[in-house]
Amino acid sequence: MARYNVQCQAYKEAAMSYPNEQRRQQAVARYLAGDKIEDICREMQCAKSWLFKWKARYQADDPSWAQEQLRRPRSNPSKTAQAVEQTVVDLHRTLVQSGKGGRAASVRQALKQQGTEPVPSLRTIYRILQRHEKG
């Protein structure tokens, strides 16, 4: 039992020093070689779900299969259009320069008067102005 713990500890330390891609490749290679999933997971200190995930992504003809994939969305359909955002910033500057105030409510009212559609909420206008003040 003590020998097993020493081997596990040594493997654990080695696994931590491996980059993640090498660890994934090693786990899948062992699976393809016929090792039992339980043995692989026990010795590599990983969950079965982790091994199944990388086994499913494995492609022999693609060397980049073991790379982590991006998790962020490819698009954000609810993001305020760039043209509307620029109009908000320009209106804010105009209102401040003319002395009519530059608060989000003033900007929103001016957008309505111009016929801009859709008119962003007060909170959205506030966030746009906050972003542009910092930049």
CA distance 33 to 35: 6
Q: What's the chain's average pLDDT?
A: 83
Which pLDDT tens digit goes with each residue over 25-49? 999 999 999 999 999 999 999 999 9
Share of residues in the chain with pLDDT > 70 (%): 85
Look at residue 70 in the predicted model and tell me its pLDDT.
Answer: 81
Output the pTM of the full model: 0.48
- Mean predicted confidence (pLDDT) in 55-79: 84
Label residue 1 by pLDDT band (50, 70, 90).
very low
Selected residue with higher pLDDT from 19 and 22: 22
pLDDT at 18 over 70: no
Label residue 74 by pLDDT band (50, 70, 90).
confident
pLDDT at 11 over 70: no
